[in-house]
Amino acid sequence: MEMETEYCFRHKHILGLENLSTDDISFILQTAESFREISTRPIKKVPILRGKTIINLFFEPSTRTRLSFEIAAKRMSADTFNISASTSSATKGETLVDTALNLQAMNPDAIIIRHSHSGSPHLLTKHINASIINAGDGFHEHPSQGLLDLMTVKQKKGKIEGLKIAIIGDISHSRVAHSNIIGFSKMGAQVYVSGPATLLPPGIEQLGAKACRSIEEAVTDADVVMALRIQKERQLDPLIPSLREYANFFGVTNKLLEKSKPDAIVMHPGPMNRGIEIDPAIADGPRSVILEQVTNGVAVRMALLYLILGGSEQ
């Protein structure tokens, strides 16, 4: 994608892909590509964020996102600190805003927040001065995951525009699905979604996706097939009869992939439930790019931290 020569990345916060332009997304992906090599060096450290303080404030569990933000920050020489729900004073009744105001009083440069309530990162931007990165807010968005998925597809396919992306599973409760629908649609791909009717939200087409009646329709001739986990923790009542039935109808299997393009890749944001949304033979097979997504997660998060913390000035 051609960018205006005077383009400049001007965001203080990363709250969602809905707030980023196609130029912003292209620039983040380019920057992430340039950072990827640092992680392959024997000494994986550059001084570009030396003196910056970054806090990971995670109110929900995480393996990939929390650790890759921390690795990204440390590889750029920033100082990082982690707080989780169970070790914070939220357990004693402190509100999110009070917690954030107390963190602000220690003058961090960025706070990376994961929270079960949609809009929590947006709320913090109204109360504190530090840059805020949304590491997943409720059902809403998970922008760094969307960006690392875009980066992985661009690497594997050489482009994003014109591709058919099939996203299968619990679309209603998935912030990853929402960021990916927005991101891939903005960058010119066609996004098809499928899942149990109880897990396909009305109005999903307004985000840019085509809702398919059958999983086969979504996967036929797809360039990319993305399986999503059933987000049981976000369902008040069970919305599918059983996981076994879900696996039978919506699991990504070799048989299903016969309908996709022969060179289709398979993605999953993790954590993965093997044998439910994805057959282990697919997860470990030649089409799978699941661990490359994780590798790209470090590069994308380095790019985000660098861009919002003014690393370019150095």
Query: What residues act catalytically?
Result: 64-65, 92, 114, 142
Rank residues 128 and 193 by Cβ distance to ligand CP and give the closer one.
Answer: 193
To ligand CP, the closest distance from the beta carbon of 178 in angstroms equals 13
Comparing C-alpha atoms, which of 56, 29, 299, 277 is closest to residue 161?
29
B/e letters for 157-186, b = 16+ CB within 10 Å, e = fewer, are beebeebbbbbbbbbbbbbbbbbbbbbbbb
To ligand CP, the closest distance from the beta carbon of 93 in angstroms equals 26
Q: Which helix (H) or strand (E) holds 164?
A: strand 164-168
List of residues 6+ apart from 108 with CB closer than 8 A: 53, 54, 55, 81, 130
Interface residue list for ligand CP (CB under 6 A)? 62-65, 136, 142, 145, 269-271
To ligand CP, the closest distance from the beta carbon of 271 in angstroms equals 6
List of residues 6+ apart from 290 with CB closer than 8 A: 266, 267, 268, 270, 272, 283
Rank residues 148 and 307 by Cβ distance to ligand CP and give the closer one.
Answer: 148
Instruction: Give the bridge partners for 168, in sequence order.
Output: 194, 227
To ligand CP, the closest distance from the beta carbon of 244 in angstroms equals 24
CA 182 to chain CA centroid, Å, is: 11
Looking up tokens 């004073």, which residue turns up? Answer: 89
Rank residues 142 and 154 by Cβ distance to ligand CP and give the closer one.
Answer: 142
